[in-house]
Structure 1
């Protein structure tokens, strides 16, 4: 139990003895379940969940969260199930553990899709209970702290994921201490040399500016005393990733980034925040356009503070943040601070309300996204912090990402307003729908009941809700159009047979064979070219049933009215055993049954590969390829071409390759009518005196495009 002692000491400071006992019981189960398992570093696996729980205990999270953190890998890595945890510790703890667990037992078409589905599940679980993401962020924080034992490529992959997803999530939830740590650890793992160089530069600058920093801090403290304001001044060093990001975005060298240090003034009331602002502006000149009032208009994650930039001693820029004790606690812990105030019997704070609103918006994004990958990409675009504030005609404040347009504003008000938007007035003047809005503008949207979203809007909208809503509308409209088109194509392909004359059992069978979820989806796939109407018609009525009004005019049975292409990799000819691959936009592509290029498709998507038969009256010239190996001597090519021509075949293409053993390799593409004709050509070639070997030739394995 020695591993539990440190955690027990932390949680005993704010949890009841009964709750501590519950946590101890979950530790014992986790310890026993992970017995024998080790981490990449060689440490016992239980050290990881204990460390994650300790991070959450620092946030003073409730006992159920601490228990779920201790158990968070049990479902995934041991024989325990969600039901086992529910019986042992209750449904809430089991749900939290399930929300954090990955989806390793499910199969996905790609690693990207699997990762996206994990994020989607985690975010949807977060909507039900925000503690899921708090556990996940703590889990990621400890994993980043212990990243050194992994392979470099895996370290970089995890670091990139951290910088793209987890640190923005921590920012969105207002948990700045975790956000900053994740960014610095991610920066160190992604760019170790840049990290070391920047850290060295900061350490050197700290020594050079120590006197200025101490003087500035003393000036600010003296100013508070002069105005009889109770407060404290903290000097802080900007974290490395923040400095690095500024250098990249503004293309600055380190020496040009002057404000690597900032100061935080913490007072006892909102009124004193504004008094401090006036007081410090009296000793240092404020820098124009660098003041932000996040107290009057909090950030979307509930963050509140006054920000001002000043010209400090020797003209060096100084950034100062002014806030109350509660605001400071909220700034570091964000949504996690909700449990601290809940424990003390206080009302839900502003951060909780705003985060709840954002989480509910995730539900709408999830409903509008067609795939997990699209959902995650949409959420990622909504995670980054820059934002503007504009006003509705009634004075309501609307938060939007930087660069947002009137269309983004319309969708932020309501999806219905966005869908019917036709124009905008900004500050009582007509305004282009595509022009970016600016802070403080008043925006009025003009709507029309007959209007609908324009696909061109996707070129300039920036908010996640706008992009998601527009895409959803266009997909829905496209799906309706495709279904109607598929219906017409299928009826045409059936000829004299009416669709309502086909047995429902046959329709259900074809829907299942094509892996469609419904007959309407099958019709939509026909309309979009993902399925071939004539092929579906043939399946519906049976391969041996004649479709009245359809005459066979091509060489392959059952492809009447279709575009037919013969593959260039295996060059099928009449009387070969053949299959067809459905290829949207190209109709059907015919391959030999044994063609190596279709083996993978036949295994993974058997519904797209159909056995076919040649028509008994197949006529015309078909391409075939042979490879000839003959002695490399004068007259060899002439004899070869003469033999082929004597069999009434034309040479389409010829390529020759010399070999070191005095052999000439010749690949010939020629015309043939059927297998009998082709066999006659081969016999004619075999009797040539120069010949060493002749065989039917296929091109090397290539990727067959099926969609």
Structure 2
């Protein structure tokens, strides 16, 4: 229990005794479940969940969150199930653990899709209970703190994932202290040399700037004191990754970044925030276009503050943030401040409201995205929202990503307005739909009930909501058109047989054979050319003569009225076991059952591979290929061609390859009527005195 003592002291500061006891019970179960397991560092595994829970205890999270944090790897790494945890504790704890647990190892087409699906599931679990992502962020924070025990390549992979996914989520939820730590730890793991050099330079610069920073801080504090405002002024340190990113993105030197002095002024009311702003603008000259009022219009994650930039002493740029105590707590803790500072009658925080709005938008994106990869791309777009703020004609503030257009605005107001948008007016003047909007503009959307989204809009919209709505509408419209086309093609292929007269049992049988979930899906694929209407018609009614005019003789049963091609990869001939592939534009392509191309396709798209039969008396000539090895003597090639001709066969193509020891290797495409005929041709060739070897040949064998 020695590992739990420090954690117990921490949670006992704010939780009642009965809840502390439940947290302790979760620790005992986790400790016993992980008995014998160790981390990469060699430490007992239980040290990790205890550390994760400690991070959450610093946020004053509720006891159920702490219990789930202690148990977060139990489902994946031990014999315990969700049901076991629900029985031992309660359903909420079990669901939190399941949401946080690493997800089932499913089989996907690609590693990218697998990662996207796991991330999608995590976000959906977060939507159900935001505490899931708080545990996940704490889990990632401790893993980043202990990356040193892993291989360099694994460290870089985890760091990249942290910087791309987890730090933007922490930012989106307003948890800036955790976001800053994750960014700096990710920076250290990704670029250790750059981190070391920058850390050294910052430490040196901090020492050189100490006197200037302290003098400026005192000047600001004295100024607000003159106005009778109670508050405190603190120097604002830039963290390393922020400095690095600013140097890289804006192509600034280290000196240019560090020449900007940052201060935070914290007062007791919103009214005093604006009074302080006036006071310091009278003290130092404000820099034009560098003022932001995030109190009147909070950021997407609920962040509130006044930002201004000033020409400080000796012309040095000074950045100042002005906020209340509550805003300062919210800026660091975000949604977690709901637990850290809540009272029994406390209202929902701004960050929570914004987080709930964002999570609702995630549900909408999830419903419209056709794949996990598409969903994650939309979410990533949503996670980096340098915002602009525009107004509806009635004065409603609409927040959009930077670069957003009138179409993005239309979809932000309502999906129906976006879908019927035909034009826009900005500041009462006509405005191009593709032109980016600017903060402060008033936007009016012109709609028409007959209008519909344009695929070209995808080239300029930037918001995830607009992109997903447009894609969803276009896919739905495309599917509707394809179903109508498929229905017409199938009715035409059925001829005198009416589609409405076909029993439902026959339709269900064909759906089962072709692996389609619904009749509409089958029709859509006929309409898009992925299925042949004549083939589906024949499957629906069997060998009913009414569906085609069966004139003459055909080689393959059931292909009357269809284009038939014989594959050159395996050269099927009558007598071989065969299957058919439905190929849009080519009709039916016949292969041997053992063809390697077919084996692969049978696993990936079994609905496209159909077993077929030769007609009872197929007529005509078919192509076959044989490989012959001969001793290269004068007249040998002539004797070979004469033997083929005497067997009632013609040579279509012949390729020779000289081998060592004066041998010929010859691939011959020739005509044959069936397997029996081919066997007689090969017997004739075997009678040649200079023959070394003969075998039936295919492209598959060459590979």
Give TM class, smaller chain: over 0.9
Alignment partners' CA distance in 1, 2:284 and 2:642: 97
Whether contact under 8 Å (2:265, 2:320) holds in the other structure is: yes
**Cα distance change, pair 573–273 in 1 and its aligned pair in 2 (3 A):** same
**Cα distance change, pair 443–680 in 1 and its aligned pair in 2 (3 A):** same
Q: Give SS of 1:343's match.
A: coil
Q: What residue in structure 2 maps to residue 364 of structure 1? A: 364
Q: What residue in structure 1 maps to residue 242 of structure 2? A: 242
**Cα distance change, pair 149–688 in 1 and its aligned pair in 2 (3 A):** farther
Whether contact under 8 Å (2:173, 2:355) holds in the other structure is: yes
Q: What residue in structure 2 maps to residue 430 of structure 1? A: 430
Alignment partners' CA distance in 2, 1:633 and 1:188: 73
Shift of 1:462: 1.0
Instruction: After TM superposition, list the pairs within 5 Å mapping 1:113-124 onto structure 2.
Output: 113-124=113-124
Shift of 1:602: 2.4
Q: What residue in structure 2 maps to residue 303 of structure 1? A: 303
Alignment partners' CA distance in 2, 1:161 and 1:77: 22
Shift of 1:441: 0.2
**Cα distance change, pair 191–662 in 1 and its aligned pair in 2 (3 A):** farther
**Cα distance change, pair 236–577 in 1 and its aligned pair in 2 (3 A):** same
Alignment partners' CA distance in 2, 1:216 and 1:116: 48
Alignment partners' CA distance in 2, 1:635 and 1:290: 93
Instruction: After TM superposition, list the pairs within 5 Å mapping 1:502-513 onto structure 2.
Output: 502-513=502-513
Whether 1:405 and 2:405 are equivalent positions in the alignment is yes
**Cα distance change, pair 526–194 in 1 and its aligned pair in 2 (3 A):** farther
Q: Give SS of 1:323's match.
A: strand
Give the stretch that moved more between structures: 160-169 or 527-536. 527-536
Shift of 1:332: 0.8
**Cα distance change, pair 259–180 in 1 and its aligned pair in 2 (3 A):** farther
The answer for unaligned runs of 5 or more in structure 1 is none
Whether 1:143 and 2:143 are equivalent positions in the alignment is yes
Alignment partners' CA distance in 1, 2:246 and 2:209: 20
Alignment partners' CA distance in 1, 2:247 and 2:635: 71
Whether contact under 8 Å (1:597, 1:701) holds in the other structure is: no
Whether 1:33 and 2:72 are equivalent positions in the alignment is no
Whether contact under 8 Å (2:629, 2:691) holds in the other structure is: yes
Alignment partners' CA distance in 2, 1:662 and 1:215: 96
Q: Give SS of 2:301's match.
A: coil
Q: What residue in structure 2 maps to residue 541 of structure 1? A: 541
Give the TM-score, by structure 2 length: 0.92
Give the TM-score, by structure 1 length: 0.92
Q: Give SS of 1:565's match.
A: strand
Alignment partners' CA distance in 1, 2:111 and 2:674: 45
Q: Give SS of 1:238's match.
A: coil
Alignment partners' CA distance in 1, 2:549 and 2:150: 64
Alignment partners' CA distance in 1, 2:260 and 2:632: 76
Shift of 1:288: 2.4
Alignment partners' CA distance in 2, 1:701 and 1:322: 75
Whether contact under 8 Å (1:495, 1:550) holds in the other structure is: no
Alignment partners' CA distance in 2, 1:365 and 1:508: 33
String of CA shifts for 1:22-77, please: whole Å, max 9, x gaps.
11111111111222222222222212211111111111111111111111122222
Instruction: After TM superposition, list the pairs within 5 Å mapping 1:173-322 onto structure 2.
Output: 173-258=173-258, 262-322=262-322
Give the stretch that moved more between structures: 669-678 or 285-294. 669-678
Shift of 1:325: 1.2
Shift of 1:506: 2.2
Whether contact under 8 Å (1:597, 1:702) holds in the other structure is: no
Whether 1:348 and 2:367 are equivalent positions in the alignment is no
Whether 1:473 and 2:473 are equivalent positions in the alignment is yes
**Cα distance change, pair 585–318 in 1 and its aligned pair in 2 (3 A):** farther
Q: Give SS of 1:257's match.
A: helix
Whether contact under 8 Å (1:596, 1:701) holds in the other structure is: no
String of CA shifts for 1:659-701, please: whole Å, max 9, x gaps.
4555443444444443344334434443444432222223348
Whether contact under 8 Å (1:341, 1:348) holds in the other structure is: no
Whether contact under 8 Å (1:243, 1:260) holds in the other structure is: no
Whether contact under 8 Å (1:341, 1:347) holds in the other structure is: no
Q: What residue in structure 1 maps to residue 592 of structure 2? A: 592
Instruction: After TM superposition, list the pairs within 5 Å mapping 1:93-132 onto structure 2.
Output: 93-104=93-104, 106-132=106-132
Shift of 1:281: 3.1
Alignment partners' CA distance in 1, 2:302 and 2:166: 18
Give the stretch that moved more between structures: 55-64 or 148-157. 148-157
Alignment partners' CA distance in 2, 1:346 and 1:422: 45
Whether contact under 8 Å (1:144, 1:185) holds in the other structure is: yes
Shift of 1:166: 1.5
**Cα distance change, pair 200–677 in 1 and its aligned pair in 2 (3 A):** farther
Shift of 1:463: 0.9
Whether contact under 8 Å (2:260, 2:317) holds in the other structure is: no
Measured on the aligned residues, the alpha-carbon RMSD in Å equals 2.7
Whether contact under 8 Å (1:658, 1:665) holds in the other structure is: yes
Shift of 1:369: 1.7
Shift of 1:319: 2.5
Shift of 1:702: 10
Shift of 1:331: 0.7
Total equivalences in the alignment: 702
**Cα distance change, pair 469–693 in 1 and its aligned pair in 2 (3 A):** same
Q: Give SS of 1:465's match.
A: helix
The answer for unaligned runs of 5 or more in structure 2 is none
Alignment partners' CA distance in 2, 1:197 and 1:178: 23
Q: Which segments of structure 1 move beyond 6 Å, counting only runs of 4 or more?
A: none
String of CA shifts for 1:506-535, please: whole Å, max 9, x gaps.
222222333322222222222223333233
Alignment partners' CA distance in 1, 2:663 and 2:156: 51
